[in-house]
Amino acid sequence: MLKFILRRVAVSAVVLLAASFLMFVLTINSGDPLKDLRESNATNKQQLIDARIAFMGLDLPWYERYWNWLKGVGGCFTGQCDLGVTANNVDVLSLTTQAAGATLRLVTLATLLAIVVGVALGILTAIRQYSGFDYSVTFGAFLFFSLPVFWAAVLLKEYGAIRYNDWIATGQYQPVTILVSAAVLGFVLQAVLGGDRRRRLLTAGGTFAFVTVVMFVLNALDWYRNPMFGAGMVLLVSAGAGVVVTALVTGFGNRRVLYGALTTAVVGVVAYFVFAPVLLDPSWLSLIGLFLLAVVVSLGIGYAWGGYARRQAMLVTLVTGVLTSLAVVFDILVAHWSSFLGLKSRPISTIGAATPNFTGGFWESVLDMGAQILLPTVLLTLISVASYSRYTRSSMLEVMGQDYVRTARAKGLSERAVITKHAFRNALIPITTIVAFDFAGLIGGAVITERVFGWKGMGALFADGLNHVDPAPVMAFFLVTGVAAVLMNLVADIIYASLDPRIRR
C-alpha cells in the first residue's frame, strides 16, 4: 500500500508541475498587463508603469518569472511561502489565505451535503426502480443539472432571500399557503412510500392533516420568529437517529448495539446540561474540544456495549454521538434565532460572506455566517446532488444484478444486509470517482456562484488576476484548486485500494 501511495504522489507532482507551467504561459500571453496604465491620463503615468513592471517582474524573461514563482512555492515546504504580489503590490499569500478559507468553507459544506443527499436518493431510487418516486427524483435531477448557475442563483436571491426576508417580518403563513404546502407534502410522501391505492390515499390524507395542524399551531405560537426546540426534542431526535443508524448498520438482531446507541443519546443530552455554562458563550476552540470529547465518549460506549460486534457497535455509537452533537448545536441556534432577528431584521443575505460591523455574540455570529453561506451552498448542492443521485442509482442497479447479490438473497440474508454490506460497498468505486472530481470541479465552478453572490473567494481572486493579466493571483488559484484536485484523486485511489485490493496491483 505504501508503494502504491508513493507512486501516486510522484505522478501527481509531475502532473501539477506540467499544469502549472501551462497555466503560467497561457496567463502571461492572454493580454497586456500595462493596458490600463498606457491609456491613463495621469501625470505620473510613466512612474506607475515602471512600478508595475518592477512589481510583476515584466522586465525579466518569461522562464525566469516562472522559475521565481516556482521557488516561492517551494518555500512553502520550509515555512517561507512566497506567492508574489499583485499588480498593485499586494501580497498574494494573504489574499489567497482569505479567499481559500471562504471558498473551501463553501465548497466543503456543499460537497458533504450533496454526498449525503445524493447518495441516499440514488440508493432509494435504485431500490424503488420505475416507481413514482424514481421518476420524480429523475426529473428533479435532470432539471437541477440543466439549470444555468447564474439564473438559478438569481432565483434563489429573489425567493430564498428577498421574499423570505419580507415574510419573516410577520412570520405568519396564510391559510391558502398552509393547505397547498400540506397537499404537496402529502403527494410527495405517498409517492415515496408507495403501496396500493388505499395505502397511498391514507398516507396522503394523514400527511395533509398532520402538516395542516402543525403549521396552524406554529402560526399561533409565532414559532417562526420565536422558535423553541428544547432538550426533550434533542433526546427524541438523537434516540431516533440511533435507532435508524442501528437499523442500517446492524439491524435489530443484536440488541446490545441498539442499547449502545440509545445510551449515547442519553449521555449526550445529560452532557448538554453539564456543559451548558460553557455553551452559553463558547469559543471555536472549546467547541472543537467538546466535539472531540463527544467522539471519544461515543466510542467508549460502543466498546462497552459491543460484545462480539464491538466494531459495528462503535461505528453506530460514533455516528449517533455526532448526530447528537449536531442536534445540541441546532437547539442552541434555534434558541438564539429571535435575538439574531433583533440584530438583523432581514436575516438572509444576498451579497458578501459576512455582515459588516455585526455586533452579536458568538451564536448570533454563527447564525450570521450560516445566513451568508446558505444560498450559495444550496445552489452548489442542488447541482451536485443531481449527478450523485444518478451515478449512485446506475451503480447500484448494476451491482444489484450481479450473481453474488442474488446468492446473498438466496442464503436468506435480510434486504438491509444485502443492500448495505454487499451491494453498496461494491457500488462505491464509481461514486468515489465522482466525489473526487466534483470537489475540485466545484472550486472552479464556484467562480460564477461567488460572482453572483458577491462572495470574495477564489473565484474573485482568479477573475481579478485574469482581467489584469496578472499571473500571481491566477497561479495562486491554480495552486489551491490543483492541489485540491490532486489530493482528492489521491484519496480516491487509496479508497479504491481499500474497497478492492486487486486495484493495488
Q: Collect all residues with Cβ–Cβ distance below 8 Å to 404 and sequence separation of at least 6.
A: 422
Helix, strand or coil for residue 133? helix
Type of residue numbered 246:
T
pLDDT under 50: residue ranges of the chain? none
Strand partners for 91: 85
Q: For the chain, give the number of residues.
A: 505
N-to-C CA span, the chain: 10
Smallest Cα–Cα separation from 227: which of 318, 332, 140?
332
Smallest Cα–Cα separation from 142: which of 392, 393, 441, 390?
390
pLDDT score at 135: 84
**Per the confidence metrics, is the pTM higher than 0.95?**
no
pLDDT in tens, 414-428: 777 888 778 887 787
Query: What ranges do the domains of the chain cover?
Result: 2-96+455-504, 173-221, 226-344
pLDDT score at 466: 86
Q: Collect all residues with Cβ–Cβ distance below 8 Å to 233 and sequence separation of at least 6.
A: 331
Burial environment of residue 325 by CB neighbours within 10 A (0 to 12, 13 to 18, 19 or more): buried
pLDDT score at 500: 66
Can you say whether residue 449 is alpha, beta or left, with left for phi > 0 and alpha for psi between -120 and 50 degrees? alpha
What crossing angle do the helices spanning 458-467 and 92-127 adopt, rounded to 10°? 120
pLDDT score at 444: 62
Give, as one character, the DSSP assignment of residue 501.
Answer: G
pLDDT score at 1: 65
